[in-house]
Amino acid sequence: MSNHFYITTPIYYVNDKPHIGHAYTTLACDAYARFQRLDGQDVKFLTGTDEHGQKVEDAATKAGIAPQDFTDKVSQNFQDLAVSMNFSHDEFIRTTSERHKQTCQKLWQILQDKGHIYLGKYAGWYSVRDEAYYTETEIVDGKAPTGAPVEWVEEPSYFFDLSKWQDKLLAFYDENPDFVAPASRFNEIKSFVSGGLKDLSISRTSFKWGVPVPNDDAHVMYVWLDALTNYLTAAGWLDDEASYQALWPANIHMVGKDIVRFHAVYWPAFLMAADLPLPKRIYAHGWWTNEGQKISKSVGNVIDPLALIDEFGLDQTRYFLLREVPFGNDGDFARAAMIQRINSDLANDLGNLSNRVQSLIVKNLDGVHPALPDTLQEEDKALLDAADSLLERVRTNFANQQFHEALRQIWQVISHSNRYVDAMAPWALKKTDPPRMAEVLAVLMEVIRQCGILVQPVMPQSANALLDQLKIPADKRDFAAIGGARRDDLPVEIEKPQAVFPRFIEAEGE
């Protein structure tokens, strides 16, 4: 059985600067990709930018720059963000690349050869902001259901015979009950498809910024057909058979709830029509609001992820985004909640615990790490069992994309450790029972080691710093090293620890 794991983010439109929403989707994928790597999988993690279409062309015109120069510039912002957020993607794809354009044309050609594309005329509503077609019945007060402005479009267009795929899609959904998650989103998709599908316009003639339709220069491809194909491009479908065989179908396309329909209806229909395997899962996460308000440029409350990193720290931001909101739900960004998480979960619960334990070892045992007791007391066993069984629970949480729950499980064990340290009071044992003090500290060190390894996917830098303090060698930081299997990975000697998770102190006057 192959242990390849292919995970993708949406590719982001280069019409504007990246914001918190873009950072969020890729962060979730980054944590997932890192987790799978630590768990022994051969991961391909793909992200990138969606650079064609009317929206991007309009933005370039507005900026007074040629579209290619404009996309070069804005795409770079997304690549820089990925570095700032410490994303571990294996490839950053750009849809203006030659390889991608050829992949789109190959897919088009196959669909056409199989008789799924015909030339007609589109007359209807189009939203440039959503890059989506809307029917008359979907228009609310002259706007798209998303609230985006729409314009009337009438032009020659190629169509994909989407209407013929309704039954096959519904049958596929039935046979693959985990295809779309969360379940509520899957239900929306099923009822949308059950309501009947119209053939889809897949080319435009009123602008030029797109992949040319093979053998008809007057048309460029509809940006969504172009964009979705990126997943095949990066898999190597065009030119790298071995890679394609290893990677396709993708294990998961992570998307925001706004674009599930494109991924769970159009994309599977294109793939079925081309006789290609369908991705295994589409996960749609929710949307962030800012202090209760919808994030929008016109309101001026767009959250810049770089500003968050600057103020709160990288791993703190990563932790907050994945811990605060149940993955799949909408969530609110509140400053107070961020500070609370940093000071309580990170500085106190984990940071303080690890500092206290290491300091006691340095102070009372000359930094020499004590051995675990041969016979465990009941409390020792309860805590070690909780830590040893953590990976299995967390693995299930990750497999279900419940990242917040994985963190909650880890923090339960951290809280358990804090209760244990308070109850055992090793600082008092120093006087009354030094051998027992050493045992207690050894139990705690083992739990901290395992938790340090487990938080790596979410907080790679801080976890590294913590594991460095514990003197865990680099090759003993994967998941094969936890679950109680490798207790002897514990260090011989440690030094006085530095705080890995500093408290956040609000600046004067705020």
Binding footprint of ligand ME8 on the chain (CB under 6 A): 10-13, 21-22, 24-25, 50, 227-228, 230, 255-256, 258-259, 287-288, 295
CB 267, CB 276: distance < 8 Å: no
Closer residue to ligand ME8 (CB): 12 or 327: 12
Taking the complex as a whole, the smallest distance from the CB of residue 141 to ligand ME8 amounts, in Å, to: 23
Closer residue to ligand ME8 (CB): 259 or 386: 259
- Indicate the angle between helix axes 403-424 and 378-388, nearest 10 degrees: 160
Taking the complex as a whole, the smallest distance from the CB of residue 104 to ligand ME8 amounts, in Å, to: 12
Nearest residue to ligand ME8 by CB is 21
Q: Strands (DSSP E) along 272-415, which ranges?
A: 282-285, 288-290, 293-294, 331-333
Taking the complex as a whole, the smallest distance from the CB of residue 57 to ligand ME8 amounts, in Å, to: 14
Closer residue to ligand ME8 (CB): 13 or 209: 13
CB 129, CB 148: distance < 8 Å: yes
Taking the complex as a whole, the smallest distance from the CB of residue 476 to ligand ME8 amounts, in Å, to: 35
Closer residue to ligand ME8 (CB): 10 or 182: 10
- Indicate the angle between helix axes 403-424 and 314-324, nearest 10 degrees: 110
Taking the complex as a whole, the smallest distance from the CB of residue 227 to ligand ME8 amounts, in Å, to: 4
CB 446, CB 490: distance < 8 Å: yes
Closer residue to ligand ME8 (CB): 60 or 451: 60
Closer residue to ligand ME8 (CB): 210 or 426: 210
Q: Strands (DSSP E) along 58-130, which ranges?
A: 91-94, 117-127
Taking the complex as a whole, the smallest distance from the CB of residue 16 to ligand ME8 amounts, in Å, to: 8
Closer residue to ligand ME8 (CB): 156 or 256: 256
Cα(447)–Cα(444) distance, rounded to whole angstroms? 5
Closer residue to ligand ME8 (CB): 206 or 293: 293
Closer residue to ligand ME8 (CB): 169 or 227: 227
And the tokens for 445? 């060190």
The 8-class DSSP code of residue 380 comes to H
- Distance of CA 7 to CAs 80, 88, 265, 273, 339, Å? 20, 12, 19, 23, 31
- Indicate the angle between helix axes 353-365 and 403-424, nearest 10 degrees: 40
Cα(487)–Cα(384) distance, rounded to whole angstroms? 11
Taking the complex as a whole, the smallest distance from the CB of residue 206 to ligand ME8 amounts, in Å, to: 20
And the tokens for 141? 């007060």
Find how far residue 295's CA is from the centre of its chain: 19
User: How many degrees, rounded to 5, is the angle at CA 152 between CA 149 and CA 154?
Assistant: 150
Taking the complex as a whole, the smallest distance from the CB of residue 18 to ligand ME8 amounts, in Å, to: 8
Closest residue by Cα to residue 252 from 28, 40, 8, 2: 8
List Cβ neighbours of 11 (8 Å cut-off, separation of 6 or more).
Answer: 47, 48, 49, 50, 93, 95, 227, 230
Taking the complex as a whole, the smallest distance from the CB of residue 270 to ligand ME8 amounts, in Å, to: 12
Cα(439)–Cα(435) distance, rounded to whole angstroms? 6
Taking the complex as a whole, the smallest distance from the CB of residue 494 to ligand ME8 amounts, in Å, to: 41
Cα(111)–Cα(52) distance, rounded to whole angstroms? 21
Closer residue to ligand ME8 (CB): 25 or 354: 25
Taking the complex as a whole, the smallest distance from the CB of residue 131 to ligand ME8 amounts, in Å, to: 7
Q: Strands (DSSP E) along 291-426, which ranges?
A: 293-294, 331-333
Closer residue to ligand ME8 (CB): 25 or 397: 25
